[in-house]
Every structure is written in structure tokens, then in C-alpha cells.
């Protein structure tokens, strides 16, 4: 594959390194001379000095034959414009943009960027997974479906401890797919499976019913009814 990377900072550097090792043809476009020199010294003649948003630079880079175009500068606006120029002027089929402000994900999608990677959102998700007090952890959003896969630990105090899965009043389009007990043994539950304190529950639910699901799993006994 011929892959163009705009931005030769840390992300661009290591991305290029890995992609070259994987046997791809890679070109990094970077404005700063010092960064270009470092890439050339370490990774070889795979760097073009210039502005990855400029038509002239992208022309020189042979963007028209790129299989993949990745923009990983530190500025969301530059990543957006680089991908839009690649897509609309050079008909690159697949564009990937790094975004720093997670809120920009929606606008990038709307404006035709195929894939966005939000570094902030990734770090946040990892922090949330590490926090034991967080009752409901989003594991994965299924793109375009409005569905997500979440994980939650059933606390000792939960009102559903001892109940059967089939008895739970789950939100619409919500399904508990795996129950992992305290010993770490996963089971695919049926309606007779009993919920035990400390169980990790993995469920598919609609993004908007996340709060309802959280309430069902974590409401303490005395607060029920």
C-alpha cells in the first residue's frame, strides 16, 4: 500500500516507522526542517518537506495514487483540511484524521472524513476502564448503529443480586451477552442465570439507554420501589 502521512511529530514518526516495517510504501509530509531531518536520518528517504494542506505539495507527493491518507498534525483544522483536499482534489479513497477535541468527531464525519481517531477520547476511555468506581464502562461503540457495548460490575449492595437475568426489566434493545463471575469465568447467560454480587456484566444497549441500564444494575436494595 502507498500511505501518505501528514505531520511528522511523535505520532507521525512512530506511525511511519511501524508502517514501513509492515512493508508499506510510506511518505511523511512535514513542514519543519528539523523534524524532516530526523525522519530522514532514522527511517530513510521517506519524507517530503512542505505543507500537507497545499495542493502543490500533495501533487508532488503523488497523492492521486495513495491508498491511504492519514493526517496526524497537532491541529484539528489542519488534519481536516488536509483530508478534504486529498479526498476532493485527489480522489483518495480512504482518509484518516487524528482529532484532539472529541467534539470534532461529528463534524469530521459529516464532512466526509472516513475515519477519525480521537486521542483525547481514547485516553479518557482508558482512564474510565481503570477507575474501579466507574459503574458503567463503554467498551465499544458500534459505528452508525446507535448501539454500544458496555461493561459494569454488579455491586454488593445492588438490588438485582440474586435475581434471574430473565426477571430484569432491561431497557428496550438491551441485551446482557456475557456474565463474568468473580473468579473470572465468563458465561453466556440464559434467562435463568442468577446475578451474583461482583459479577462483571457485558451488555449491548442503545447509547441513550446507558443511564437506565446503569440504574438497573447499581440501584441499592433500599432505594428500590
Partner 1 sequence: MPPVKYGLFACPWSSEMKVVIMGCGRVGAELATILDREGQEVTILDIDPDAFGQLPADFKGNSVVGNGIDQDVLQRVGLADADAFVAVTPGDNRNVMASQVAKHIFDVPKVVCRIFDPIRQELYRGLGLETISPTKEVARLLKQALEREPAETPKGEG
Q: According to the binding rule CB under 8 A, does residue 120 interact with partner 1? A: no
Q: Among residues 68, 83, 92, 104, which is the contact residue for partner 1, using CB under 8 A?
A: 104
Pairing of strands 95-99, 68-71: parallel
Angle at CA of residue 217, ends 154 and 200, nearest 5°? 35
Q: Is 107 in the site for partner 1 (CB under 8 A)?
A: yes
Q: Shortest approach of partner 1 to residue 7 CB, angstroms?
A: 13
According to the binding rule CB under 8 A, does residue 55 interact with partner 1? Answer: yes
CB of 77 to partner 1, least distance (A): 4
62 CB burial (10 A radius; 0-12, 13-18, 19+):
middle
Binder among 21, 44, 67, 88 for partner 1 (CB under 8 A): 88
* Dist CA 172 CA 141 (whole Å): 17
Region label for 153, one of left (φ > 0), alpha (ψ between -120 and 50) or beta (otherwise)? beta
Name the residue nearer to partner 1 (CB basis): 78 or 199. 78
Count of CA atoms in the C-beta half-sphere (13 A) of 17:
12
Q: What crossing angle do the helices spanning 10-21 and 33-43 adopt, rounded to 10°?
A: 20
Question: Judged by CB under 8 A, which of 60, 106, 127, 221 binds partner 1?
Answer: 106
Of 42 and 77, the one with the shorter C-beta distance to partner 1 is 77
CB of residue 101 to partner 1, shortest distance in Å: 6
In the complex, least distance from residue 96 CB atom to partner 1, rounded to whole angstroms: 17
Following DSSP, what letter does each residue of 11-40 receive, concatenated? HHHHHHHHHHHTT-EEEEEES-HHHHHHHH
Please report, as ranges, the residues that interact with partner 1 according to CB under 8 A. 53-56, 75-78, 80-81, 84-85, 88-89, 101, 103-104, 106-107, 110-111
Amino acid at each position: 500500500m502507498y500511505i501518505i502521512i501528514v505531520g511528522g511529530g511523535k505520532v507521525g514518526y512512530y506511525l511511519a516507522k511501524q508502517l514501513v516495517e509492515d512493508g508499506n510504501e510510506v511518505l511523511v509530509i512535514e513542514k519543519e526542517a528539523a523534524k524532516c531531518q530526523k525522519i530522514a536520518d532514522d527511517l530513510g528517504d521517506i519524507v517530503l518537506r512542505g505543507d500537507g494542506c497545499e495542493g502543490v505539495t500533495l501533487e508532488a507527493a503523488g497523492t492521486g495514487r495513495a491508498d491511504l491518507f492519514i493526517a496526524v498534525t497537532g491541529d484539528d483544522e489542519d488534519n481536516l483540511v488536509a483530508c478534504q483536499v486529498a479526498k476532493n482534489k485527489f480522489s483518495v479513497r480512504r482518509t484518516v484524521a487524528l482529532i484532539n477535541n472529541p467534539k470534532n468527531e461529528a463534524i469530521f464525519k459529516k464532512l466526509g472524513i472516513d475515519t477519525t481517531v480521537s486521542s483525547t477520547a481514547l485516553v479518557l476511555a482508558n482512564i474510565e476502564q481503570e477507575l474501579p468506581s466507574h459503574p458503567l464502562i463503554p467498551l465499544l461503540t458500534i459505528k452508525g448503529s446507535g448501539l454500544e457495548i458496555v461493561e459494569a460490575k454488579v455491586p454488593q449492595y445492588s438490588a438485582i443480586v440474586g435475581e434471574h437475568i430473565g426477571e430484569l426489566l432491561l431497557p428496550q434493545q438491551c441485551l446482557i451477552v456475557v456474565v463474568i463471575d468473580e473468579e473470572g469465568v465468563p458465561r453466556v447467560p440464559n434467562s435463568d442465570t442468577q446475578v451474583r454480587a461482583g459479577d462483571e456484566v457485558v451488555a449491548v444497549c442503545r447509547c441513550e439507554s446507558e443511564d437506565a441500564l446503569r440504574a438497573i444494575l447499581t440501584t441499592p436494595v433500599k432505594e428500590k420501589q
